[in-house]
Amino acid sequence: MAERATLDSVAAHARVSRQTVSNALNAPHLLHPDTLARVQSAIEATNYRPSRAARSLRTSRSQLIGVGLPAAGDGVNGYVLDRFLHGLTEASGSAGYHVLLFSAGGDEQEIEAYDDILATQSLDAFVLTSTHHGDRRTAWLAERDLPFVTFGRPWGTSAGHSWVDVDGAAGTHEATTNLIAAGHRRIAFIGWPDGSGVGDDRRSGWQSAMAAADLPTDGLLVQDQDGAESGRVAMASLLTASDPATAVVCASDSLALGVYDALRQVDGSPSSRAAVPIVGFDDTPVAAALGISSLAQPLVAAAQECVRLLLDLLEPGPDTADQPAHVLLAPRLVVRASGAGPMTSPTDRPAVHVGQPITNEEGETQ
Amino acid sequence: MAERATLDSVAAHARVSRQTVSNALNAPHLLHPDTLARVQSAIEATNYRPSRAARSLRTSRSQLIGVGLPAAGDGVNGYVLDRFLHGLTEASGSAGYHVLLFSAGGDEQEIEAYDDILATQSLDAFVLTSTHHGDRRTAWLAERDLPFVTFGRPWGTSAGHSWVDVDGAAGTHEATTNLIAAGHRRIAFIGWPDGSGVGDDRRSGWQSAMAAADLPTDGLLVQDQDGAESGRVAMASLLTASDPATAVVCASDSLALGVYDALRQVDGSPSSRAAVPIVGFDDTPVAAALGISSLAQPLVAAAQECVRLLLDLLEPGPDTADQPAHVLLAPRLVVRASGAGPMTSPTDRPAVHVGQPITNEEGETQ
DNA sequence: CACATCACTTGGATCGATCAAATAGGTGCA
DNA sequence: TGCACCTATTTGATCGATCCAAGTGATGTG
């Protein structure tokens, strides 16, 4: 294996000076076409690639973007994070950047990591996930003029920075409207306790859709911590009500899984599953496996937007706005349940009442 | 905000030379205790941290470890990868390293990324996941003497490199033995088609446990691609057999989910769930949510081992072995199902027999 | 013909750390 | 006294890129 090629070795090979080779890469318009061609073939021949360390030292830019991994189980679930990281890696890669991970057990610990990174000048920018009320990280970063973008709105605080987020309310609104169009009137929402920005947002979409159709929501809202067990309990209570729900929108796939389970408990026949349509959130493999409808976050697109906004900060062009930008993406409703049309109508199929294990063979009509 | 502290500025502050400050960090034993203390307080006062770029340029080490993100849905699932990345970030962080992501759509694309990284000298080492038969990546890296560790055995090829893996066979063996001890005799295994190293490994543990107890396995093995639907179909066929299974061990939680669903279809009452104990693999949130037993991979420990082996390669000590090291970790059996003892005995609860009109596909037995 | 202009190319200094070798000061031993 | 030796610290060179200012011809212009 030959020695690593350097700027000098390439220059010698092409019979030009160091700087000319450098220009061939960074400012090709300065070179005479013939020279450029000669240098490029020399670069090719020696398989030259500029040393990241040297370039970084001189330019004080590392071409690295940091992402704090949220503590497991906190906020974003593994599947969502995984896909987001994928998108981020791809998008930043094609812009010449790489993604660096650092662990972030909590705000303070994460800030400590920022401090270290700032001092060692090892990162150009940050992407924050799992924004929440009273997030101290954004203020810390803003104070020091470090470029960053958050995936998630700055709940509570005013937005002094750029962010990208998925419009949860629009998603649940669409899902609910869809169910209403299919004839449902008693559509329940199972979500999280008030106070979590994301949860409140998702709930509000359901509320607005119900309000827009003049449908009452009394007895249709259940709020509990995330998890299948919560969904199970919630669904059980919704079914025993005097005027039970005929469809359910959930703030997460975990809750949806619980709901699915509760419905199976009432009636195990496969066809009746669709009788009470369920809509989850995040479109995880679980939803796909069980045939539950779900709202898919456009994670790759979100990641691309994050990178785009970061690049605006890192390499501002002439037409780059000075104001921080905000991007809100709509989730996509993935309709599954019984492979039929948008949502099953309750007029076609009787609503499930508890106590009587309805054996409904109806099957996949329509 | 003050200027970034450099080696020189700290030296001036402590009234010593550059090199002395450098030694205070890298070779403290060379300094006089008094000098050391003086320098350290100067470092403290100026919040000095060595520039990564400069250090990297001089030492030609980046303190970065690369991890190729496997294409989504391929091999490792998001949850497992997430936890592994967490562990890796933590473990390498405490060793002074950071984790860099790069996308890897396939072997070739990944190798291209290696080439780039090699040329720019931007990474010190690699961690590979999702090793498979005929993996070209390891050979490529080994040829060029690049330090790397795989999380996953080198299936098929001989092991010329260090690796860490989870002993799937030991896990399924333990689970099966446990079920046998609880009185089960007809224990099925639902896995993947022959040829995938991981799948074959997990199957073999069940086989050896059955053999050790002199139990026949005829009609108890079903192999199909991963996914809940496969599990559902497999379980349906197992139940309709003349001598049906009373317990099931699965190669994945996805399959286990399908099995769970198929059992609910037969009998929806909650207590009967435990009648046919299910054991999944990976201990994902789905298993936890549904109360399915599962084999948890010690991902944090695996990540720590990966880092330890990498450090042996990167910073060999006097007592470091020259031979590549292999670490095999045992998964942990997480028993859930009905909160009772290890596994439910079939004598306590009647096994589920079918007889109902279930239309079965007669599927891939063998 | 001198001089400014333009297109292209070059050499020197620099980023901030580490490596290698040299220096200053003390101690031991002949 | 003289020389070797050890400790503690300093000086100069270097890693490989980019920035900056200066240098070379060729051409156009008054």
| Residue among A85, A94, A282 with most chain B CBs within 10 A, to mutate | A85
- Structural contact between residues B168 and B145, judged by C-beta atoms closer than 8 angstroms: no
Residues B180-192: what's their mean pLDDT?
Answer: 96
**B50-89: b (≥16 Cβ within 10 Å) or e:** bbbbbbbbeeebbbbbbbbbbebeebbbbbbbbbbbbbbb
- Where is pLDDT greater, at A65 or B349? A65
Each residue's pLDDT tens digit, A118-164: 888 889 999 999 888 888 889 889 988 899 999 999 987 777 899 99
Confidence tier at A187 by pLDDT (50, 70, 90)? very high
Residues B161-177: what's their mean pLDDT?
Answer: 97
User: What does the alpha-carbon distance between residue B192 and residue B198 come to, in Å, rounded to a whole number?
Assistant: 9
Compare CB distances from A257 to B4, B254, B289 and report the shortest one's residue.
B289
CA of B58 and C1' of C18: distance in angstroms?
A: 6
Whether the pLDDT of residue A1 is over 50: the answer is no
Residues of B in contact with A53 (CB under 8 A): 53, 56-57, 60, 62, 121-122
Whether the pLDDT of residue A352 is over 60: the answer is no
Range 137-166 of B in CB contact (< 8 A) with A = 144
Pairing of strands A247-250, A293-296: unpaired
Give the largest Cα separation in chain A, rounded: 89
pLDDT at B266: 64
| Contact assignment for A228 to B265 by CB distance below 8 Å | no
Whether the pLDDT of residue B171 is over 90: the answer is yes
The reply to whether B17 has its C-beta less than 7 Å from any atom of strand C is no
pLDDT at B353: 27
Confidence tier at A308 by pLDDT (50, 70, 90)? very high
| Contact assignment for A122 to B257 by CB distance below 8 Å | no
Compare CB distances from B72 to A62, A83, A254 and report the shortest one's residue.
A83
Q: Which of B131, B167, B164 is nearest to B149 (CA)?
A: B164
The tally of CA atoms less than 13 A away on the side-chain side of residue B144 is 20
DSSP annotation of A330 reads: P
Range 271-300 of B in CB contact (< 8 A) with A = 285-286, 289-290
DSSP H/E element including B102: strand B98-104
User: What does the alpha-carbon distance between residue B360 and residue B329 come to, in Å, rounded to a whole number?
Assistant: 39
Residues B319-330: what's their mean pLDDT?
Answer: 88
Can you give the length of chain A in residues?
Answer: 366
Confidence tier at A12 by pLDDT (50, 70, 90)? very high
Residues B174-178: what's their mean pLDDT?
Answer: 97
Whether the pLDDT of residue B273 is over 50: the answer is no
pLDDT at A264: 77
Residues A281-305: what's their mean pLDDT?
Answer: 93
- Where is pLDDT greater, at A287 or A366? A287
Residues of B in contact with A120 (CB under 8 A): 49-52
The alpha carbon torsion through A279, A281, A283, A288 (nearest 10 deg) reads -40
User: What does the alpha-carbon distance between residue A297 and residue A77 come to, in Å, rounded to a whole number?
Assistant: 12
User: What does the alpha-carbon distance between residue B291 and residue A327 come to, in Å, rounded to a whole number?
Assistant: 39
| CB atoms inside a 10 Å sphere around CB B198 | 23
pLDDT at B349: 34
Lowest mean pLDDT among A349-353, B24-28, B163-167, B307-311: A349-353
**Residue A9 burial by Cβ neighbours in a 10 Å radius (0-12, 13-18, 19+):** middle
Confidence tier at B116 by pLDDT (50, 70, 90)? confident
Read off φ and ψ for residue B187, nearest 5 degrees.
-110, 120
B140 three-state secondary structure: helix
Residues of B in contact with A98 (CB under 8 A): 100-102, 122
Alpha helices by DSSP H, listed for B213-252, are 228-240
**Closest residue in chain A to residue B102, using alpha carbons only:** A89
**Closest residue in chain B to residue A271, using alpha carbons only:** B265
Whether the pLDDT of residue B348 is over 80: the answer is no
CA of B337 and C1' of D17: distance in angstroms?
A: 61
Each residue's pLDDT tens digit, B225-241: 998 889 999 999 998 88
pLDDT at B178: 96
DSSP H/E element including B163: strand B162-166
Each residue's pLDDT tens digit, B26-75: 999 999 999 999 999 999 999 999 999 999 999 999 999 999 888 765 55
Rg (CA), chain A: 27
User: What does the alpha-carbon distance between residue A358 and residue A356 come to, in Å, rounded to a whole number?
Assistant: 6
Pairing of strands A98-104, B98-104: antiparallel
pTM of the full predicted structure? 0.88
User: What does the alpha-carbon distance between residue A226 and residue A77 come to, in Å, rounded to a whole number?
Assistant: 11
pLDDT at B219: 92
Residues B335-340: what's their mean pLDDT?
Answer: 62
Q: Hey, is the C-beta of A52 within 8 angstroms of any chain B C-beta? A: yes
pLDDT at B269: 46
